[in-house]
Structure 1
Amino acid sequence: MRKCSVLKSYYNEYVRDISVVFLLLLPLIICNAITLFVGHAFNWIKFTDLASIFFYLSNLLIGIYPIALCLITSYYIATKHGVNAMVVVPYSLLLFIAVSVPNSLVSAQTGLPNNPLIALLAAMISAICCISFRLFPLDPSRIDFVSTLYKHVLHFFCFLLLTVCLAKFTTIIIELSKEVRHDISLNPLTFYGGLAYQFFLGLLGAIGINGHNFLFRAKQQLFENTQQNIADWQAGDAALNILGQGFYDAFLSMGGSGNTISLLLCVLFFSKERRHITLALSALPLVIFNINELLLFGLPIIFNPILIVPFVVVPLVSFVVVYSAMTIGLVNPVSTIVDWMTPPFISGYIATQHSFSGVVLQLVVVIIGIAIYRPFYLHFVGRSESNNMAISRQHELGRSTLKSFLGDVTQAMSSYVSKHDISRRVSRMLSHGEFVMHYQPQIHLKNKLGLSFESLIRYKGPDGKLLPPFFIQDFQQLGAMKQLDQMVIDLVLVDMQKMLLTPNCKVAINISTETISDKHVVAYIVERLSFYNISPLHLEIEITEEAIIDNDKQVSENIAVLQALGITIAIDDFGSGYASFPHLLKFNFDKVKLDRSLLFNIDNEREKNLYQLLAKISEVAGCVLVAEGVETQAEKQFVQQCGIDICQGFYFSKPMPLNDALMWAKTVATTQYSDDISV
């Protein structure tokens, strides 16, 4: 059951997205059909020079189509999963070319890779690789540019190795397919051989493989035998065969392989899905000329376990019906090889010696096809309310992606400009001025030997002016919080070497979500403590509950290891919006810091009761409480009444440079705790 749900998840995530991708390629497909039709029209009226121009344009569009499919698919999947497309798109293009060129899967006219199935697989594999191992796009102005560059190089090298393996695997598959084709002996001129031939054509087409190319030997022989039989019939030397190239083209490929004109009419007659109706109307001009790629990939039919069944079965049933009608003489046998782009009903009239019985037979085949397609199609779209809601959400995502396709480009450009400004600002801060640490005391009202500090980073400009920590948002925008945290750890540990660290004295460092959820953070902290010769017992790590929500498992493991080393773990800003009691019970925090906002309205009875209730969590969670933001005598007395003995706030002291903090600590050590300690 679990495997089925996983497969269904992958189907919903990737296969159904193909329909959205092909809507993006709709203009290219329609233009190709138009140029091909115009070329045939000019050729028919003997304007061969003009016809050759339009045939050239058609070949050009066909040539770039697989590459466009690869690029847009990789872009769409990357955007959907929040991965930068500038990373995924080059990977997919590399994989597509690397697999196609050595295996001769290229166009003879353009030399470009020409296999749509390989294009889709290359885009999906590349996207999965980049989603599984996410990388930030290279930005020379980032402070972690060098390390990011090396990660990109390593990731790209591993992908190159994968590409070589996939190219070799494709070669093996192609060689095996040649052996299979050699062993397959089909005779489309016999009844059972014709059924087998049509079955293989449908089955291959349903998984995105051009069956006519795969069975080229049989198709070529069919074409030659048909030409010879028609010539002998016209000379009066032989009877006209029922089965021939014209039989398959005129009656078993109406609207394209799978007799998809029946599916198109089924959608128009019975569908309540607005997107499917729009798709069918868009595909109608193409299906008239037997071009069914839009339906094949737009619904999609390929890789679709439901629609594959009628796609294969309808031509087989049509084969039996048409063969029977011609055998008993209701309809004339096919006497010519009709051009494959000839519209249905016209092709039936021409193929059956200009007989309207051929048109009627085609109409019967289309109606039978509709009847077969209908239950499968309705099952595919679903009729239950839950199915409709799920599909609606899927289509809403598709519409959202379509609407944002061009908007993302503009947004990306403006985001890049903004990010570049931030990068320049951070670079100036790193090269001019300095980052310094300030320290705010945490006062233990009943034990003056329990004095601790919270470290807070500040920036001092070249003019000596101290700036508030608004620059932290800049580091967040650049995705460089781990680098900032590492710098803070080093600055604090250097300062701790100058402190008189009594057994109960601790220095707290605020760690970002990005850092505390990193599996390498523990090793880094241990290495830095050893380098500066600081005992873990004097270090305290403060995290917000946002970090717990972001990566529950990894954060839990990091907390447990840090605590085992003797490092105190505190949860900061409890009560500010993220915090909740279940997390206090789930994680064994040493300290909980009640957010300043909880003291704003303690004159109000309701807020006062809430604070008193929160003050009792230490009894449940077994942790130490700290009252943050104590700024007045009244607030100090209130938190004391609530049973909280450790306070931090402007009432006692603002954050101070290291030297001032050391002087302040000496003053406290020689003074009884009283209201006179405030600064």
Structure 2
Amino acid sequence: MYKSSVLKSYYNDYIRDISIVFLLLLPLIICNAITLFVGHGLNLAQLSDLANNFFYFSNLLIGIYPIALCLITSYYIATKHGVNAMVVVPYSLLLFIAVSVPNELVSVQSGLPNNPLIALLAAMISAICCISFRLFPLDPSRIDFVNTLYKHVLHFFCFLLLTVALAKLTKIIMALSEYVRHDLSLNPLTFYGGLSYQFILGLLGAIGINGHNFLFRAKQQLFENTQQNIADWQAGEASLNVLGQGFYDAFLSMGGSGNTISLLLCILLFSKDRRHITLALSALPLVIFNINELLLFGLPIIFNPTLIMPFVLVPLVSFMVVYGAITFGLVNPVSTIVDWMTPPFISGYIATQHSLSGVVLQVVVVIIGIVIYRPFYLHYAGRSQSNNMTISRQHELDRSTLKSFLGDVNQVMSSYINKHDISRRVSRMLSRGEFIMHYQPQVHLNNDHCLSFESLIRYKDPKGKLWPPVFIQDFQQLGAIKQLDKMVIDLVLIDIQKMPLEKNCKVAINVSAETISDKHIVAYIVERLSYYDISPQVLEIEITEEAIIDNDKQVSENIAVLQALGITIAIDDFGSGYASFPHLLKFNFDKVKLDRSLLFNIENEREKSLYQLLAKISEVTGCVLVAEGVETEAEKYFVQQCGIDICQGFYFAKPMPLDNALAWTKTAALKDENIAKQGCFSI
């Protein structure tokens, strides 16, 4: 059951993602269809020079389409997964060109790579490589710039090796396809050969391959034989063949490949989703002229297993119906090659020697197509009559409509723009200003021989203005919180060298859950302690309670190793979220810091009782308790009555630079001549 739901989720996301990408390219596709339509119209009006201009632009749009597909697909997947798109896009473009050019998968007119399937695969493979081995953007101002640079070089070199292998694999596949085409002796002028020809065309078209190009020899032979047969018939030397180019164009491509006029009418007749109906109405003017890209990519049909089946099946059934009708003399044989953009019903009338029987036959074929498409479409849309739509299915349907597609695109684009702004802001902070540590006293109420300080990171801009730590969220959104934590570790260890620490005095460094769950963080801390020649016994690691810890096993291992080294482990902001107690049970903390929010309403009996209850945690766990956010004499007295010995807050002092903190320590020592002149710092 679990595997089934996972596969279903992947399927839904996959179809949805492909749809979003194709929707972004719909303006290009529709413009191409319009230029073709206008070009053919101008040809009919005998304005061939002007028509050629439109055909030129049509070829240009066709040439641009695969590259645009590659770039937009890689860009979309990268932004969706939070990977820097400026890394993925060049990778995908390189792979697309490297595979296409050596294998001659390029346009004759423009010389550009012209295979949409290769474009899509190149984008997906590149995105997977960059998502699997996530790299941070290169920033010369970062502390780990050189290390990151070498990672980028190694990653790119490995990707080049993969590109070479894929280019060779493509060559092998193309060679095999040549053998297949050579041995594939299709004859569209025979019944079974025609069925095979139509099946291959539909199957290839459903996965983004131009079947007419793949079966070019068979199609060219079909066209030539049809022309010859019509000429012989007109000369009275032969009868008309049942099968010919006009047969396929007039009856098997109504509304475009797959007889998609039947699907369009199916949506208009049976869909209850207004957005699908809007999509069908929008596609109607194009489908009338056998241009089905809006439906093909908008639902989508391409790469959609549910709709691929009727897309392939409808022309096959239509083939047999039309073949039987003409063979048994119910309808006149096709006597001309009708232009592919001739609207349905008109094409049937012209093709069958201006006979209404051809129109009636087309109507029958369209109705049969509606009947076949209907259950598949209703299943895809989630409105099968045999099942009631559940809430989750409704959600799935809402996600797969045109409006939500465009909304998702806008959301992704907005998210990327936001991340780009954050990246620029963080880069400016790293290169122009400086990060410094401030310290707030942490007072031991029943032990005047030990003063503690909590260190808070601040940013000082080039003008000397001090900024609060709102930038921490920027690092989190960029996925660089571990880099910030490592920078803080270095800043703190530098400050420790200036602190007159005595025995049993510790310095606590506040780190994120992401950092403490990193399997390399212990080695990093040990290396930095050795570099600055500082004993592990002076350190205390505080883990923020806000973040949910996912890798329980790794966190437990890291905590155990750090504690074995003599480093104290504390949980910060305890009580600020529902994860507090599970964290306390899972991990062996040495200290618990009660969040400031728990003191907001202690004048109320309920809140007071809750705080008193939490104060008993130390009796159960053996952890040392610290009351954060003490700002009044009443709050100080209350937490002291609760049995908590260590407090911090504005009541004692506000955060201050290291020099001021050291001076504050000396001032506090002078208040009682029994206080030793020593500092114990918590950062």
TM-score normalised per structure 1: 0.89
Aligned residue in 1 for 2:96: 96
Preserved CA contact (<8 Å) 1:444 1:646: yes
* 1:388 corresponds to which of 389, 394, 414: 394
Aligned residue in 2 for 1:401: 408
Structure 1's 594 and 269: CA in aligned 2 closer, same or farther, altered over 3 A?
same
For residues 282-303 of structure 1, give each alpha carbon's deviation from its aligned partner in whole angstroms, at most 9, with x where no partner exists: 2222222222222222211122
Q: Which amino acid aligns with 2:663?
A: D
Preserved CA contact (<8 Å) 2:242 2:327: yes
Structure 1's 95 and 2: CA in aligned 2 closer, same or farther, altered over 3 A?
farther
What percentage of aligned pairs have identical amino acids?
77
Supply the RMSD in Å over aligned alpha carbons. 3.2
Greater CA deviation, 613-622 or 338-347? 613-622
Structure 1's 631 and 7: CA in aligned 2 closer, same or farther, altered over 3 A?
closer
Greater CA deviation, 656-665 or 384-393? 656-665
For residues 193-234 of structure 1, give each alpha carbon's deviation from its aligned partner in whole angstroms, at most 9, with x where no partner exists: 221222222222222222222222222222222222222222
Greater CA deviation, 283-292 or 126-135? 126-135
- Cα offset, 1:307, TM superposition: 1.3
Q: Which amino acid aligns with 2:240?
A: L
User: Helix, strand or coil: the match of 1:279?
Assistant: helix
User: Helix, strand or coil: the match of 1:306?
Assistant: helix
State the aligned residue count: 665
Distance in 1 of aligned mates of 2:77 and 2:672: 62
Aligned residue in 1 for 2:444: 443
For residues 31-87 of structure 1, give each alpha carbon's deviation from its aligned partner in whole angstroms, at most 9, with x where no partner exists: 212211221122223222111111111111111122222222233333333334333
For residues 552-577 of structure 1, give each alpha carbon's deviation from its aligned partner in whole angstroms, at most 9, with x where no partner exists: 66545433432333321111122345
Aligned residue in 2 for 1:276: 276
- Ranked by relative contact order (alpha carbons within 8 Å, sequence separation 6 or more), the top structure is 2
For residues 149-194 of structure 1, give each alpha carbon's deviation from its aligned partner in whole angstroms, at most 9, with x where no partner exists: 4444343333333322222222222111112222222222221222
Distance in 2 of aligned mates of 1:631 and 1:4: 55
Preserved CA contact (<8 Å) 1:449 1:504: no
Q: Which amino acid aligns with 1:660?
A: A
- Cα offset, 1:277, TM superposition: 1.6
Q: How does 1:211-250 map to 2 (within 5 A)?
A: 211-250=211-250
Aligned residue in 2 for 1:65: 65
> What are the ranges of 5 or more consecutive residues in structure 2 without an aligned counterpart?
384-388, 677-683
Distance in 1 of aligned mates of 2:664 and 2:267: 76
Distance in 2 of aligned mates of 1:79 and 1:459: 29
Preserved CA contact (<8 Å) 1:593 1:626: yes
Aligned residue in 2 for 1:429: 433
For residues 238-283 of structure 1, give each alpha carbon's deviation from its aligned partner in whole angstroms, at most 9, with x where no partner exists: 2221111211111111112211111111111111122222222222
Aligned residue in 2 for 1:676: none
User: Helix, strand or coil: the match of 1:547?
Assistant: coil
- Cα offset, 1:119, TM superposition: 1.9
Structure 1's 42 and 553: CA in aligned 2 closer, same or farther, altered over 3 A?
farther
User: Helix, strand or coil: the match of 1:107?
Assistant: coil
Distance in 2 of aligned mates of 1:474 and 1:143: 19
Aligned residue in 1 for 2:679: none
- Cα offset, 1:626, TM superposition: 1.0
Distance in 1 of aligned mates of 2:207 and 2:461: 64
- Cα offset, 1:646, TM superposition: 2.6
Preserved CA contact (<8 Å) 1:250 1:351: yes
Structure 1's 151 and 533: CA in aligned 2 closer, same or farther, altered over 3 A?
same
User: Helix, strand or coil: the match of 1:570?
Assistant: strand
Greater CA deviation, 295-304 or 648-657? 648-657
Structure 1's 497 and 311: CA in aligned 2 closer, same or farther, altered over 3 A?
same
Preserved CA contact (<8 Å) 2:540 2:568: yes
Distance in 2 of aligned mates of 1:423 and 1:29: 39
User: Helix, strand or coil: the match of 2:306?
Assistant: coil
Q: How does 1:500-511 map to 2 (within 5 A)?
A: 501-511=501-511
Q: How does 1:338-353 map to 2 (within 5 A)?
A: 338-353=338-353
Structure 1's 34 and 653: CA in aligned 2 closer, same or farther, altered over 3 A?
closer
> What are the ranges of 5 or more consecutive residues in structure 1 without an aligned counterpart?
674-679
Structure 1's 81 and 167: CA in aligned 2 closer, same or farther, altered over 3 A?
same
Preserved CA contact (<8 Å) 1:426 1:474: no
Distance in 1 of aligned mates of 2:12 and 2:426: 38
Q: How does 1:138-287 map to 2 (within 5 A)?
A: 138=138, 146-287=146-287
Q: Which amino acid aligns with 1:443?
A: H
Preserved CA contact (<8 Å) 1:475 1:484: no
- Cα offset, 1:355, TM superposition: 1.5
